[in-house]
């Protein structure tokens, strides 16, 4: 007999008793979808979020909330890696075409109209060794270094910098090995502005088309030009005007330009020491020299090596020379265009070593190589204009200038006929001793070590300069990440900002304002001498 179906149940349902209802299918799909989205949310916050924090641990809470993307974040993060001795200190060096550096050295005879620079580019830019005929120098480390050779010295020192990187994402700063000083020195006399500007325009075209430039539009880039800033700040498009326009070009304004003399009114250049004759190969070379300078007997109260400036009525050199001649405790080494002892490194250093104070008035510009030669000899410098050192070398010299130098305003000499001998003789003997010790302690950071060797515990002028650039770029990057701007920055007060203590941002009236009153034509201050006369510097060997 056939069984009758159960009431209310269809036959096809009887044949498929395990089939799920439509509601069951919907519940299953909803569960799977919820699980999938929960997994994605977990992966995003727990995994990707953790990796983001590791790559940029130094971002502030404010920045983290915005979740910005900074191309230099990885470079900044290396500074927090305490196990990495180069963390936050990596330098990327651009591989420039040889026309921007090496080719100039191959044509070294054309680098200067007045001097055969071929011998001065030897030994890594140090020049030929100096013979220690009169026992003035140490037995090693002394070279006839040209005052404008910093371009090549700095690049060769960079080659042995311990924290170079081929990875631009790690770089704290980017070095541009362009011999800017050598480039312009070829064309300062007798060439039109197109020739003088050509290499600079070519370089900036090359740089701005490199991927490294786009990280900060060049604000993390720096180069070294071993001449005074005025050689790169031509004010017009007239062939009769001086120099090229490298430092005025829009892209170059973003870069940091390291020069032996900077502009008080511009923010893209920074003063670094002129090269001296001493280039130690190791720490002991420095320690032995410092000890020797401390023990010397100094028979002269003050000395001056230089020539008058009869064509410049505002120069105080004539007054200084007259006072030296009249003094029984002052020593004068007169310089001229012909052969003189001013062209002899041993004669200059011998006089400085025998003097307590060395007079350093302005030359054809604010600064002089002589200031660094004298401090190398343990002689306390006497400056007459704040632009000769105090507003120039803020990376290398104490901001408290009275610790290592004496300041006598030019007008005291020019208008009031103040006696230099009387002013210096009033300084107590103990204070002189302390000041001399301070000068001698500064020697390591004022000289450029031999680029073929390496100092172990000491930081030389190169090390100080590179670290200062890194600090500048690092602070700028942190400001960008934190959203800080400097809307109230006044570029014409650049010299004042350089004197501020850490953390300070505002400038006001300053005691040195009269020294830097800028004329309406923007050519310099009332006491500044024409940059067109800088060839005299070259002729007189920075006398």
**Closest C-alpha to 224, from 535, 465, 397:** 465
DSSP summary character for residue 258: E
> What pLDDT is recorded for position 17?
42
For residue 210, name the pLDDT band (cuts at 50, 70, 90): very high
What is the per-residue pLDDT across 393-420, written as a single tens digit (0 to 9) for each?
Answer: 999 999 999 999 999 999 999 998 899 9
Please give the pLDDT value at position 30.
58
Mean pLDDT, residues 99-104: 98
Q: What's the pLDDT score for residue 528?
A: 42
- Position 19 scores a pLDDT of 45
Half-sphere exposure for 410 (CA within 13 Å, toward CB): 21
Confidence band for 50, pLDDT divided at 50, 70 and 90: very low
443: its two tokens: 């020697």
**pTM here?**
0.84
Q: Give the CA distances from residue 199 to residues 175, 184, 202, 244, in Å, rounded to whole numbers and listed in that order.
A: 17, 9, 5, 10
Helices (H), 354-508: 370-376, 410-414, 420-425, 429-446, 461-482, 494-497
Looking at the chain, the whole-number percentage of residues with pLDDT higher than 70 is 82
Give the pLDDT confidence score for residue 58 in this predicted structure: 39
Overall average pLDDT of the 51-79 stretch: 60
Residue 53 has pLDDT above 60, yes or no: no
Contact assessment for residue 104 and residue 183, using Cβ atoms and an 8 Å cutoff:
yes
User: Using one digit for the tens of pLDDT, what is the confidence trace for 502-542?
Assistant: 778 889 999 999 999 865 444 444 334 444 444 444 444 43
- Give the model's pLDDT for residue 443: 98
pLDDT tens by residue, 338-376: 556 777 899 999 999 999 999 999 988 999 999 999 999
Tokens encoding 521: 């034509």
Label residue 57 by pLDDT band (50, 70, 90).
Answer: very low
**Residue 14 — very low, low, confident or very high, per pLDDT cuts 50/70/90?**
very low
Which residues does 41 contact at the CB level (< 8 Å), separation at least 6? none
Degrees, nearest 5: CA angle 174-179-185: 150
Element (H, E) at 358: strand 355-360
């Amino acid at each position: 007999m056939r069984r009758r179906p159960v009431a209310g149940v269809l036959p096809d349902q009887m044949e498929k008793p395990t089939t799920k209802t439509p509601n069951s299918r919907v519940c299953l799909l909803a569960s799977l979808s919820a699980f999938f989205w929960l997994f994605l949310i977990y992966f995003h916050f727990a995994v990707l979020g953790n990796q983001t924090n590791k790559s940029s641990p130094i971002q502030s809470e404010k920045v983290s909330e915005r979740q910005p993307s900074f191309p230099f974040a990885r470079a900044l993060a290396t500074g927090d890696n305490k196990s990495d001795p180069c963390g936050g200190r990596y330098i990327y060096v651009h591989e420039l075409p040889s026309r921007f550096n090496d080719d100039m050295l191959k044509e070294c005879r054309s680098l200067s109209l007045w001097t055969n620079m071929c011998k001065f580019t030897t030994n890594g830019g140090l020049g030929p060794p100096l013979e220690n005929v009169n026992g003035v120098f140490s037995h090693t480390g002394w070279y006839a270094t040209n005052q404008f050779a910093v371009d090549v010295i700095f690049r060769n020192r960079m080659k042995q910098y311990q924290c170079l990187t081929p990875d631009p994402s790690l770089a704290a700063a980017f070095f541009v090995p362009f011999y800017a000083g050598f480039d312009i020195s070829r064309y300062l006399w007798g060439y039109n502005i197109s020739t003088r500007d050509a290499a600079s325009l070519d370089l900036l075209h090359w740089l701005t088309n490199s991927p490294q430039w786009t990280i900060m539009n060049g604000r993390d880039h720096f180069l070294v030009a071993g001449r005074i800033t005025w050689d790169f700040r031509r004010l017009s498009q007239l062939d009769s005007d001086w120099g090229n326009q490298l430092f005025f070009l829009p892209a170059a304004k973003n870069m940091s330009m390291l020069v032996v003399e900077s502009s008080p009114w511009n923010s893209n250049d920074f003063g670094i020491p002129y090269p001296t004759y001493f280039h130690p190969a190791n720490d002991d070379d420095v320690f032995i020299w410092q000890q020797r300078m401390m023990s010397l007997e100094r028979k002269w109260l003050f000395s001056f090596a230089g020539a008058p400036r009869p064509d410049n009525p505002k120069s105080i050199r004539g007054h200084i020379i007259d006072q030296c001649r009249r003094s029984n405790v002052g020593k004068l080494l007169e310089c001229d265009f012909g052969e003189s002892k001013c062209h002899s490194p041993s004669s200059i250093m011998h006089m400085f070593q025998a003097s307590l104070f060395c007079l350093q008035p302005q030359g054809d510009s604010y600064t002089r190589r002589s200031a660094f030669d004298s401090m190398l000899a343990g002689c306390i410098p006497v400056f007459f204009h704040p632009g000769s050192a105090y507003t120039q070398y803020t990376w290398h010299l104490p901001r408290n200038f009275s610790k290592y130098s004496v300041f006598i305003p030019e007008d005291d000499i020019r208008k009031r006929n103040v006696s230099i001998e009387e002013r210096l003789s009033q300084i107590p003997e103990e204070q002189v001793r302390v000041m001399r010790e301070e000068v001698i302690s500064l020697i390591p950071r004022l000289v450029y070590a031999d680029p073929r060797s390496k100092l172990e515990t000491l930081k030389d002028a190169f090390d100080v300069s590179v670290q200062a650039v890194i600090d500048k770029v690092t602070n700028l990057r942190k400001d960008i990440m934190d959203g800080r701007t400097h809307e109230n920055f006044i570029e014409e007060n650049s010299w004042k900002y350089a004197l501020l203590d850490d953390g300070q941002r505002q400038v006001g009236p300053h005691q040195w304002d009269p020294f830097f009153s800028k004329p309406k034509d923007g050519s310099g201050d009332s006491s500044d001498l024409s940059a067109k006369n800088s060839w005299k510097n070259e002729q007189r060997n920075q006398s």
